[in-house]
Amino acid sequence: MLKKEKLLDFADTILKLSDADMTTVTVAGTKESLTRFSNNQITQNVDSLKYSFTIRTVYDGKVGVVNGTSLEKKNLSKFIEKAKDIAKNQTHKKEIFPLSSKQDYTFTKSFDKKTENLAPEIRAKYVKDAVKLCEKERLESAGIFSNGATCVVIANSNELEAHNETSNVTFSITVQTKDSSGWAEQNELSINDMDIIGKTKIAIEKAKKSKNPKDLKPGKYTVLLEPAAVADLISFLSYTTFNGLMISEGRSPLSGKIGEKISSTMINLYDDPYFKGVGGLPFDFEGFPRKKLTLIENGILKEIPTDRKVAKMLKIDNNGHSLGPDDEYGPLPLNLYLKEGDLSFEKMVESTQNGLLITQFHYVNMLNPITTTITGMTRNGIFFIEDGKVKHGVKNLRFTQSILEALENVSMISNKVVLQSGGFGGGFAVPGLKIDHFNFTSKTEF
Amino acid sequence: MFKLGKLAIDVAKHYGADYADIRIIDTKNEEINVKNGKLNVDYSNTLGFGVRVLFKGSWGFSSSDNLSVSEIKKVSKEAVMIAKASSMLQKEKVQLAREDVYHDHWFTPVLKNPFRVPLEKKVELLFKIDEILRKKSEIKVASSEMSFQNIRKWFISSEDSEIVQDLLRSGGGYSATAVGNNDMQTRSYPASFGGQYYSGGYEIIEQMELLQNAERIRDEAIALLSAPQCPNEIKDIILGGAQMVLQIHESVGHATELDRVLGYEENYAGSSFATLEKYKKFKYGSNIVNLFADATIPMGLATQGYDDDGVKSQRWDIVKNGILTGYMTNRELAHKIKDTRSKGCNRSQGFYSIPIIRISNLSLAPGEWELEDLIKDTKDGIYMDVNRSWSIDQRRLNFQFGCEIGYEIKNGKLGRMLKNCSYQDITPNFWNKCDAICNENYWDLWGVINCGKGQPGQRAEMSHGSAPARFRKVEVGIGN
């Protein structure tokens, strides 16, 4: 990946070439190396390094935006002219906020060069080690080992210069028997924190334990959600319910509810890009510093993400959650951290008379944003718990459940948070949850 | 470009590749959006190349956006090194199905190049729509858009194929979101999640009747706020074409991708219930269900001359008279179903992605019914249309889909408007409940522009054709 100085130099070239009233340059880079395996062999192995840049020019209240990939400077004037052409050929003006100026940011350690550049032979060796364990148990495995890095630079004609880089590594494995499967995944910023063998053993154990799954009638059950399942659930809070614009336009169930109780008093939810290992961006996509937000404190809605537009609509401060100066989707909390409780997950299982342990959800989608009702399937390890013990595997079920209602019905929170991948802009940190009256509406055949 | 391509092949061969291909891709996009009176215009141009090699039967792939001689040499060598690493864990060598060598230039038939239509003309149309949608205060979000994409792709392989393709697609649409009555409801036209898309030029926009439908869509969004909920009951349902596209895509398209069937997607998108022992035997649907794949169909988003394996586009049956008869295949996996030739479904999102099996244009053949007669023939049902939400299990069996709008059908007549319509079933049970399909007068292709698959994730586009169809005794209104 190109370093800060080279990226800023590229941005500076554009700023010098542009004659617009305002010019902003954003450069993003992604290096991704990924080894994919299935049926106990490597089936795909790729390496890609790609950059994208965006030039935003403003002429007399009219905006032109162009995007490109090649950082070759010789073609830049063509892009700048195109941006000018788009802006000048408009008759409609819109409200333009002034450009942000130079800012101070808080950085966390999120980049490791070794992790960015692991060789394909190293990835293959990790995969081989995992597959070997599965073969020993005569089980089939599929998954990925990926590593890489992302970088972003935002610079503008008002002297803003923002840069951040993050490395990442992911191992994910699904292990299968004839009638069951188990899954485990680890997402970290550094290869030094990875435990490939440990995760493979978890997936193997889950696959073996869920053999001969039994049919279960859909209905309301107490569930113990492992962190991956919790992340599937609350990610919709990030994209929809806690969207600052939706809240300000009356399109969220949280509209007008700041200061009101919206979940169990056990729930403390933050947007925290500075949480260790999350790898969040310290600035938003206009270059403003991202403030850590207390979204829910002891069940009370405290803060919501804002950009300048939402801040103006709601007459509150901009807390640096913009997705871009022309964004119409709305500011989001990209790095949710659900605060841990004080019980181990094992103790939570022991406390359960009757319930279901869920490893992961699959294909979750929003049904009704106003009631926060979502639907999805269980996947790769669903177990029946009786008298505090995991008894047997269960065939997969479909749930149809309101997220806010589920957060109201939380009765226990585990004492360890696990990092979940969230793509560009970092991930989530969530613990396991015990939730009563979780609504399963149909079943499938496996 | 052919010269640069040949260099990549030569370098790959020099380092030991048994097979190599390169795709050099130049993509132009124009996105225009008006949301609540605010205009955003976004133009992009990306150029780069990806080199794919086989070394002793194992794949390696590398890519770059720097189209220089030195970078091509570097990336080709990297691809071979990656393939060598892949061979460290290999059970079965990749065998490519035979394909003829082609030297060809293929292009999408276009009447009006959308990139030459003045920006202001496009913008004015979107502002007119925006004005109509926001004329009533209940509409809190009005969003209208157009999108145009032009891809020029060079494919050069070590088998001596040299293919250039110019692919152009155009489309757009709008949505109106009404808020009130403690509720929020959205209506879209012609389809949800970005509208309707075809291969072709600006003539597509001109034929969409965008302005003519704006008032109706706005008023339907408002009416839904006070409409009764879809009941949670067992009903006969008639699905409109804009919902059938999703039904075909999720429950047949993905289920018949051969890589999924063979477990290649197990850790991410999932596998399929349509396993190989069911091939040419399994009763996927009722006798009237005929689904065909066709990468040559005019105006389809997956319509092209050749796929990213360099395989010429074809048409074939996926479900014939209700029986599973085909899969989406590529050169690597065709032999797994004893086919000697790939069906040409290998496609990638861009120069930076390795091609994987993607759904082709997949359509339900029309039946014989007039829609009016089909409604008259339905005693207790719901007509639903335009997708709102979707979820399906990892083997493509249990699905639950939601629609933007529904209408009660009582004793052969369309009745009250219903909101929050959804239905749930198991894929083969559902398709076997199909007892009526409307005729070709109601049949249209619908474009899907956001199909995700693979690790690293890739997006692909394809079309699905269908007319409205009826399914008997289906659970509706789940969660209401």
Pairing of strands B162-180, B103-107: parallel
Going from the C-alpha of A294 to that of each of A252, A258, A268, A270, the distances in angstroms are 18, 12, 8, 5
* Residues A360-389: tens digit of each pLDDT: 999 999 999 999 999 999 999 999 999 999
Q: Is position A208 within any domain?
A: no
Tokens of B187: 């209506």
Asked whether A432 and A224 are in contact (CB, 8 A), the reply is yes
pLDDT value at residue B196: 97
> B394 and A92 in contact by Cβ < 8 A?
no
Burial class (CB in 10 A: 0-12, 13-18, 19+), B219: middle
Q: Which residue of B has its CA nearest to A125?
A: B88
Judge whether residue A423 has pLDDT over 70: no
Going from the C-alpha of B264 to that of each of A37, A204, A330, B260, the distances in angstroms are 8, 18, 37, 6
Tokens of B377: 């023939």
Q: Which of B43, B266, B395 sits opposite A82 (nearest CB)?
A: B43
Are A159 and A232 found together in one domain? no
Are A223 and A192 found together in one domain? no
The domain made up of B2-225 is a member of CATH 3.30.2290.10:
yes
List, in sequence order, every beta strand (DSSP E) within B297-443.
Answer: 315-320, 323-324, 346-347, 356-357, 362-364, 380-392, 398-410, 413-418, 421-426, 434-437
Helix, strand, coil content of chain B in percent (nearest 5): 25, 40, 35
| DSSP summary character for residue B134 | T
pLDDT value at residue A422: 64
Are A403 and A320 found together in one domain? yes
Q: Which of B394, B398, B402 sits opposite A442 (nearest CB)?
A: B398
pLDDT value at residue A425: 66
* Residues A118-167: tens digit of each pLDDT: 999 999 999 999 999 999 999 999 999 999 999 999 999 999 999 999 99
B12-45: buried (b, 16+ CB within 10 Å) or exposed (e) per residue? bbebebbbbbbbbbbbbbbbbbbbeebbbbbbbb
pLDDT value at residue B480: 82
The span from the first CA to the last CA of chain B, in angstroms, equals 57
Are A37 and A112 found together in one domain? yes
Are A153 and A224 found together in one domain? no
Are A95 and A128 found together in one domain? yes
> A398 and B354 in contact by Cβ < 8 A?
no
Q: Which residues of A touch B273 (CB under 8 A)?
A: 445
Give the C-alpha separation, A55 to A67, whole Å: 6
Q: Is position A175 within any domain?
A: yes
Q: Which of B58, B61, B400 sits opposite A46 (nearest CB)?
A: B61
pLDDT value at residue A295: 98
pLDDT value at residue A62: 93
Q: Is position A421 within any domain?
A: yes
Of A198, A224, A253, which one is at a domain's C-terminal end?
A198
CATH number at residue A47: 3.30.2290.10
pLDDT value at residue A92: 81
pLDDT value at residue A91: 79
Q: Which of A49, A143, A442 sits opposite B267 (nearest CB)?
A: A143
Q: Give, for all 480 residues of chain B, the pLDDT tens digit.
A: 999 999 999 999 999 999 999 999 999 999 999 999 999 999 999 999 999 999 999 999 999 999 999 999 999 999 999 999 999 999 999 999 999 999 999 999 999 999 999 999 999 999 999 999 999 999 999 999 999 999 999 999 999 999 999 999 999 999 999 999 999 999 999 999 999 999 999 999 999 999 999 999 999 999 999 999 999 999 999 999 999 999 999 999 999 999 999 999 999 999 999 999 999 999 999 999 999 999 999 999 999 999 999 999 999 999 999 999 999 999 999 999 999 999 999 999 999 999 999 999 999 999 999 999 999 999 999 999 999 999 999 999 999 999 999 999 999 999 999 999 999 999 999 999 999 999 999 999 999 999 999 999 999 999 999 999 999 999 999 988
Of A198, A229, A260, which one is at a domain's C-terminal end?
A198
Q: Is A12 helix (H, G, I), strand (E, B) or coil?
A: helix
Burial class (CB in 10 A: 0-12, 13-18, 19+), A123: buried
Which residue from B251, B235, B231, B234 is spatially nearest to B243, judged by alpha carbons? B251
Are A113 and A221 found together in one domain? no
Q: Give residue for tokens 């718990």.
A: A385
Counting the structural domains of chain A, the total is: 2
- Interface contact A90, partner B, CB < 8 A: yes
- Interface contact A375, partner B, CB < 8 A: yes
Residues in Cβ contact with A95 at an 8 Å cutoff, skipping those fewer than 6 apart: none
**Which residue segment(s) compose the domain that A415 sits in?**
213-446
Which residue from A31, A1, A370, A434 is spatially nearest to A221, judged by alpha carbons? A434
Query: In angstroms, what separates the C-alpha of B298 from chain A's closest C-alpha?
Result: 30
Has the ipTM of the complex gone over 0.85? yes
Of A133, A164, A198, which one is at a domain's C-terminal end?
A198
Are A95 and A222 found together in one domain? no
> B82 and A369 in contact by Cβ < 8 A?
no
pLDDT value at residue B227: 98
pLDDT value at residue A133: 98
Going from the C-alpha of B463 to that of each of B151, B360, B442, the distances in angstroms are 17, 8, 16
pLDDT value at residue A307: 98
Select from A1, A53, A69 the residue whose CB has the most chain B CBs within 10 Å, as the one to mutate to test that interface: A69
Q: Is position A231 within any domain?
A: yes
Are A394 and A281 found together in one domain? yes
Select from A377, A380, A396, A403 the residue whose CB has the most chain B CBs within 10 Å, as the one to mutate to test that interface: A377
Are A368 and A224 found together in one domain? yes
Q: Is position A205 within any domain?
A: no
Give the C-alpha separation, B459 to A184, whole Å: 25
Pairing of strands A336-338, A269-271: antiparallel
Pairing of strands A41-59, B58-64: parallel
Are A217 and A193 found together in one domain? no
- Give the model's confidence band at A95: pLDDT under 50 very low, under 70 low, under 90 confident, else very high: confident
Give the C-alpha separation, B361 to B368, whole Å: 22
- Interface contact A424, partner B, CB < 8 A: no
> B397 and A249 in contact by Cβ < 8 A?
no
pLDDT value at residue B377: 98
Pairing of strands A140-156, A161-176: antiparallel
Are A157 and A289 found together in one domain? no
